[in-house]
Structure 1
């Protein structure tokens, strides 16, 4: 069994925020495989997914982003799931918009949801890092992640989340490199915006 968790905030006003892209990933996976209704479990909302012989628990913690580890840890303890079988999907400031990286272990890089999960599981869980880019100034980070994706970002966002959902079977088989490769192939990151030289002053 694997646990697929997404980070986000539970209130409707946060629904389309960059910080909620983990929840969005879980919703797309659940829709793609026609999972049953979300139920209140483990301080979150959960549903089951079975692909072949592989079973997954999809989990959206309802503890707010910074305390997500409590729900994830509770589920992992209940099912006695090793941290290496837990995948946490979350927004990543250090990746360009549309980039995706699956990573095992490492630091939290200031992400409080990852810090919370590490406090419950240790560092050796998998992180599905969904790039949202950086606003360029650390003082703007909070407002940036708590703002909605722009319309211009929706195309790559939809493609990337669909690619993640369409590759979940590889996670169940333990084919982590193949999962990363397939997601990247199915949803290549958008080209960075090219800016021309600054206008000359008269």
Structure 2
């Protein structure tokens, strides 16, 4: 029996100017997952940096598309096709402004929700049926006295020190969710992770 293959794709933008920005949180957690296995996401193929190894009962590919967020689907689709990974074994890690900072939510399918990277993947796969790990970054702060930062500026701005600490604390939950996805599937993963 062939070994099961999984692709975990973290979304972000390439380049130093985007490091540690909220929109790049998918890249951040892909690097954390790689580090936890002693891997490095440094091989370049089909417009993406990736690594592969055996873990969680299968062959795991970790991917950071280098196409810029709005064209993420080009890279993700190429990887699925080249390595013959079925879309049901794809998990996309991405930022979500509608979730409180640090909240992790798994979903099995759905629309883009205003996220251009997810929109691109839906377009290139021709389906909304793929799993996502939404990582909450919150919304810009607003009050009666202070107008909030525009969303496009907010997602491309850097984490605060407190946010960096918060996301460092979420590494273990992201790793647990990733392993559950590979071993047990998205439904069990959602049941055990969402709401924690």
TM-score w.r.t. length of structure 2: 0.87
Alpha-carbon distance between aligned partners in 1 of 2:123 and 2:7, rounded to the nearest angstrom: 17
Q: How does 1:18-37 map to 2 (within 5 A)?
A: 18-36=22-40
* 150-159 vs 140-149, greater mean Cα deviation: 150-159
- Pairing 1:153–2:163 present: yes
8 Å contact from structure 1 (residues 49, 57) kept in 2: yes
8 Å contact from structure 1 (residues 164, 183) kept in 2: no
- Residue matched to 1:126: 131
TM-score w.r.t. length of structure 1: 0.84
1:30/1:177 CA distance change after superposition, 3 Å? same
Hey, which bits of structure 1, 4+ residues long, moved more than 6 A? none
Alpha-carbon distance between aligned partners in 1 of 2:56 and 2:106, rounded to the nearest angstrom: 23
8 Å contact from structure 2 (residues 31, 40) kept in 1: no
- Name which one, 1 or 2, has greater alpha-carbon Rg: 1
1:142 is matched with which residue: 142, 146, 152? 152
- Residue matched to 2:95: 91
Alpha-carbon distance between aligned partners in 1 of 2:104 and 2:178, rounded to the nearest angstrom: 14
- Residue matched to 1:108: 112
1:52/1:164 CA distance change after superposition, 3 Å? closer
- Residue matched to 1:67: 71
Q: Which runs of 5+ in 2 are unaligned?
A: none
Paired residue secondary structure (2:64): strand
Alpha-carbon distance between aligned partners in 1 of 2:148 and 2:115, rounded to the nearest angstrom: 13
Pairwise CA RMSD of aligned residues? Answer: 2.0
Alpha-carbon distance between aligned partners in 2 of 1:164 and 1:143, rounded to the nearest angstrom: 26
1:148/1:36 CA distance change after superposition, 3 Å? closer
1:178/1:162 CA distance change after superposition, 3 Å? same
Paired residue secondary structure (1:30): helix
* 142-151 vs 152-161, greater mean Cα deviation: 152-161
